[in-house]
Structure 1
Amino acid sequence: MDTSIPSKVLAAQARRSNAARIALFVLPLLLLAPAIWNGYPLLQYDTGGYLARWYEGYLVINRATSYGIYLHLGEQTQFWLNLGFQAIVSLWLIQLTLRVFGITKPFRLAAIGVGLIATTALPWITSMLLTDIFAGLSVLSLFLLIAYRDQTSAVEKVLLFAFTAFAASTHSATMIVLTGVCVAGWLLLPRLRGRVTASGLTLASSALVVGALLVLSCNYALSGKFTWTPGGSGVAFGRMLQDGIVKRYLDDHCPKQQLKLCPYKDELPPTGDDFLWGGNNMFDKLGRFEGMSDEMEFISKQAVTAYPWMQFKAAAKATWDQLVHVATGEGTNGWLPHTYGIIERYLPEQSAAMRAAKQQHWDINFDAVNLVHVPVALGSMVLMLIILGSALWRHRLDDVTLLAGTVTLALLGNALICGIISGPHDRYGSRIVWIATFTAMIAAIKYFIDDHDTADDGTD
């Protein structure tokens, strides 16, 4: 019997392979499609604060100087150098993760890449001048350092180490989430023998130590202060304000304590964002961060012990709300006065290009985008729970389960940190939840396609 493959089948396979290779070449461009269409990198409320770090020489709440230096390196290219780096690193980490899972066919990589671009926030955050792209990518790089140290080359280990350290330095929340993953790894190491090694955890933990040193070094280089980026107490104060805890504290203590906020306790704005960033006269009159940092820190610490049950309920609600706040595009609209002002002040040669971009003309419709992104994100998180529940039921710890567990832990840590400290924001969820969709795609291939192919081959 003739068992040779028909020529038509071979031709079809060749065409499919060629199409996949073309798609891989095009994927970096697709990852930057929003910026290319926009005519300029996408901007956000916080972009200006990062851009200004190189020029202003002082530290600002939650504005990492390492990311400011990174942006400065791409200024002469209108930041397309930064976006190109973000696209290439994204594709590299996606490809490397698929490779260690044995998913090496070009068509599958192309299909997953196109799927992520079409259904998640990945291309939008890749196209944006903001630290958000590094939140999800760093979870993947840390995972590869911890669990797949033996399946990567020496050069890949160095690159993973360097990227993880840099990504951790760009945002305190990212640093904390990655640290939480490492701590969980060390605690679970006795149960994860054979899947996770002490050497892998040591390498990953060392990358975070280097990241912390990078934060301190960059802050010293630009401000002359060997200190951590400010922000914790001020941001936590904002969350407590919108939860009503600050008002409760002022009502209970203003007769006894002489606080700057006492005369304004009945005029507090409804949200922390309105208080800190809304340009209200109250915060300006009180001296903004220079005049209020000590008092905000004092109230935040005192309120934790004064109202523990109120804090617990607010924290639980904030964590849950943050988990389900996953819409793409928060803070990426046509009204960004601070960011526009920073570009016009320090990069006036780019003002015309920035002002001509579609974003500045309100041409981006994130409502339409989120008709797809939100259900995909929420569904992906549910699938993570299903994968983990199935693994517990079957007492099975395979590669997919390990990745799903890592991603779930990162999502929970992100919701806990961002929800409790900053208050729930869609931006904090959308920047990391795409890795759950990526994990679900890997699970679909490993559990359904690969298992089916193995069954058809009659192998075990």
Structure 2
Amino acid sequence: MAEPPDRLARALASLAVFATAALLCLAAILNEQPFLYPDTPVYVRRAEVGASKVLGADRIKPWMGEASAASESGAAAAAAPAETDRNVSLAGRSVYYGALLYGAHAAGSLWLAVVAQALCVAAMLHLVIVRLWGFRRRHLLAVGAGLALLTPLAAFTGLLMPDLFAGVTVLCSGVLAAYWNRLRRWERVGVAALLLFAIAAHPSHLALAAAMLLFMLGCKLLRLGLRTPWPALVLVTGCVVGGVAAEWVFNKAMTAASGAPPVLLPHATGHLIGMGPGTEFLRQNCPQAGYVVCDYVANFPTHWDDFLFSDDPTKGAFWLADAQAKRRMAQEQIAFVLDVVRFDPLGVARGLGADVLEQLASFRVDVGRQPPGAVEKFYLGRVPDDVLADLRGSQGVRGGDFDGWLSGATYAAVAGSLVLLAWRRRSSALPRPPGFDQFALVVGAGVLANALICAVFAAPLDRFQSRVIWLVPFLAAAVLLQLRSARYSVFSSSTIFASPGKSPR
């Protein structure tokens, strides 16, 4: 049978991508609204401020209308965890990701941001499954449905936070590392552009991309099963450098706007205090150590989340401090970490090792359900009235247990996937897509690096690992497709995978 014309092939590819994207919107559709997080309004507001500086406040659509602004209460404003003090702007809330959310709002609906996120992931899945692995478009839809129903991918696609792009960072890096020679020029440009945006979406993604770059470079130099072409390494390096430059530009702009640089949350300080060694160091060395956290030593140990955001005078620290003390905590963080490591190196090493293992196993889905009182505490007066009304009517607020059943499905899917991948590793006779071993190596390294970065520089949290754990079942899906092809002999081993220049029917 002759290949369809290029125009028809492109139309079919686009249809498959849109259909897969629709599957990835399923979680938000079931929730009846995109998933919100307390930080979501901050991302939008930062982009709105930037747009007003560039275009003029009278030429942009305001995030908060007059009615919404009038509903703001002092208690709600004080409770917002991402805007800790009117005199302090926080680093880490990317204006670049905020531009996606604000652009969707300005265009008419935050649903457009969910659609954009879904299309980004669907396009990458099509590139890998159809173009590079050579499976059919119906297989793409099957994998998309499985990932949407059995992993957190759809939940993070529907979440108005940059977490989705951590997995995209890993996926794009794996494609460039393993398939550089099979990618067309425009595909290289497209994957690199998406990787750059993903890196700029959050500082943790920058650290993740840098760690993966070091891994790829180390494997190439040591000949450890991955020989990424130098042009691919140069391009990934350029994306990492671009991410650093984007963060630098953002910090400069925030400094110019507010008169002071943004404050980096002292995650590491809170982590060491909650872990124990930091608390013991402070108890033995305060007040002579001179750290501002000495003022709150009576509250320690406390969970890192309480250290940063609690307004309870018996638990908090950073949240309770004034603007000057907040800046001092951030500035003293590196010195504090070094002092604690010197004070109890074994305790810190044991704690961090345990936290990394805990993070690897912690990927419960917890983005769909809003806890009691969350609407008034985190969103009243910070989101438009129509968004607030939709939030009140969403399944996440009305008590739907979306997170519960999806968490169970995720743990079952990941456990089964690990067994399947281990078995496939031992089966030399099993057909495999070109470059699959190298791709799986990079993706696996990315999943591990994500756990390491989050557990060490912040603290174990289910959301941190669940944002990338869907990549494990994605790799297992390739094995299942291989098994199906081999079992039913649909294709011969020489024609299972399409060549780079042809599109499967």
**TM-score, normalising length: structure 2:** 0.77
Q: Corresponding residue for 1:421?
A: 457
Query: Does structure 1 residue 450 correspond to structure 2 residue 485?
Result: yes
Cα gap change, 1:84 to 1:315, in 2 (>3 Å): same
Any conservation in 1 of the 2:177–2:233 contact (CA below 8 Å)? yes
Equivalent residue in structure 1 for 2:389, among 352, 355, 369: 352
Measure, in 1, the Cα distance between the counterparts of 2:493 and 2:278. Answer: 66
Query: Does structure 1 residue 235 correspond to structure 2 residue 267?
Result: yes
For structure 1, the residue ranges without an aligned partner over 5 or more in a row are 1-18
1:160 Cα deviation from its structure 2 partner: 0.9
For structure 2, the residue ranges without an aligned partner over 5 or more in a row are 1-11, 51-87, 496-505
Equivalent residue in structure 1 for 2:359, among 322, 333, 340: 322
Query: Does structure 1 residue 373 correspond to structure 2 residue 366?
Result: no
Cα gap change, 1:62 to 1:38, in 2 (>3 Å): same
Equivalent residue in structure 2 for 1:155, among 169, 186, 208: 186
Q: Corresponding residue for 2:43?
A: 50
1:83 Cα deviation from its structure 2 partner: 0.8
1:371 Cα deviation from its structure 2 partner: 1.7
Q: Corresponding residue for 1:431?
A: 467
Where do 1:50-449 residues align within 5 Å?
50-54=43-47, 59-76=89-106, 77-190=108-221, 191=223, 196-224=228-256, 230-231=263-264, 234-254=266-286, 256-268=288-300, 270-281=302-313, 282-283=316-317, 284-287=319-322, 289-290=326-327, 292-330=329-367, 332-335=369-372, 337=374, 341=378, 344-345=381-382, 347-381=384-418, 383-384=420-421, 399-446=435-482, 448-449=483-484
Q: Corresponding residue for 1:6?
A: none
Cα gap change, 1:267 to 1:134, in 2 (>3 Å): same
Bigger fraction of residues in helix: 1
Measure, in 2, the Cα distance between the counterparts of 1:336 and 1:410. Answer: 36
**SS in structure 1 at match of 2:159:** coil
1:93 Cα deviation from its structure 2 partner: 0.4
Any conservation in 2 of the 1:21–1:107 contact (CA below 8 Å)? no
1:430 Cα deviation from its structure 2 partner: 0.7
**SS in structure 1 at match of 2:228:** coil
Cα gap change, 1:80 to 1:138, in 2 (>3 Å): same
Measure, in 2, the Cα distance between the counterparts of 1:388 and 1:230. Answer: 46
Any conservation in 2 of the 1:53–1:59 contact (CA below 8 Å)? no
Cα gap change, 1:153 to 1:253, in 2 (>3 Å): same
Cα gap change, 1:404 to 1:383, in 2 (>3 Å): farther
**SS in structure 2 at match of 1:265:** helix
What is the RMSD of the two structures over their aligned residues, measured on CA atoms? 3.4
Cα gap change, 1:100 to 1:29, in 2 (>3 Å): closer
Any conservation in 1 of the 2:128–2:175 contact (CA below 8 Å)? yes
Give the partner amino acid of 2:351: A
Residue-by-residue CA offset, 1:33-75 (whole Å, 9 max, x unaligned): 2222323210123323323323578741432222222221111
**SS in structure 1 at match of 2:42:** helix
* Comparing 152-161 and 260-269, the one that deviates more: 260-269
Identity of aligned residues (%): 23
Any conservation in 2 of the 1:62–1:231 contact (CA below 8 Å)? yes
Cα gap change, 1:457 to 1:156, in 2 (>3 Å): closer
**SS in structure 1 at match of 2:299:** coil
Cα gap change, 1:184 to 1:456, in 2 (>3 Å): closer
**Aligned length in residues:** 438
1:146 Cα deviation from its structure 2 partner: 2.3
1:105 Cα deviation from its structure 2 partner: 0.9
1:412 Cα deviation from its structure 2 partner: 1.2
Q: Corresponding residue for 2:55?
A: none
Measure, in 2, the Cα distance between the counterparts of 1:141 and 1:254. Answer: 47
Any conservation in 2 of the 1:44–1:331 contact (CA below 8 Å)? no
Cα gap change, 1:390 to 1:32, in 2 (>3 Å): same
Cα gap change, 1:345 to 1:22, in 2 (>3 Å): closer
Any conservation in 2 of the 1:43–1:129 contact (CA below 8 Å)? yes
1:293 Cα deviation from its structure 2 partner: 2.2
Measure, in 1, the Cα distance between the counterparts of 2:352 and 2:493. Answer: 52
